[in-house]
Amino acid sequence: MKLMKQQAGFTLIEMLIVLLIISMLILITIPNVTKHFATIDEKGCAAYISMVQGQVEAYRVDFMEYPTLDDLIAKGYLKEQGTTCPNKEAIIITSNGEVQLANQSSASKGNGQ
């Protein structure tokens, strides 16, 4: 009768336990990662609005009037793609030169402001 050689390796149970632990870690981290990306988009949009506000003020100093987005693009203060935040939300310039998201202006009109 032949003797069986001892072979080192993982059993099926050990592999299943490792896969279970890895899947639990993935389930914990994915919601945190998506929440982190949403925060990055919000901060990026706020920073972009601040930058456009600076360009509006620079235009006002140069031409003594508040610009529209088209004026900023035509005079080279913004690029043609500069009418939206990095997360693709549209921005507008109000009549008093304030830069804000387009959906915020419609919400403030609906509230009587």
What percent of the chain stands above pLDDT 90?
A: 41
Place of tokens 């804000």: 100
The 10s digit of each residue's pLDDT in 37-65 is 878 888 888 999 999 999 999 999 999 99
Provide the pLDDT for residue 3: 62
Closest to 51 measured CA to CA, from 80, 77, 71, 87: 77
Provide the pLDDT for residue 113: 46
What is the rounded CA–CA span in Å between residue 94 and residue 96? 5
The 10s digit of each residue's pLDDT in 80-111 is 888 888 888 889 999 889 999 888 755 555 44
What percent of the chain stands above pLDDT 70?
A: 86
The pTM score is 0.63
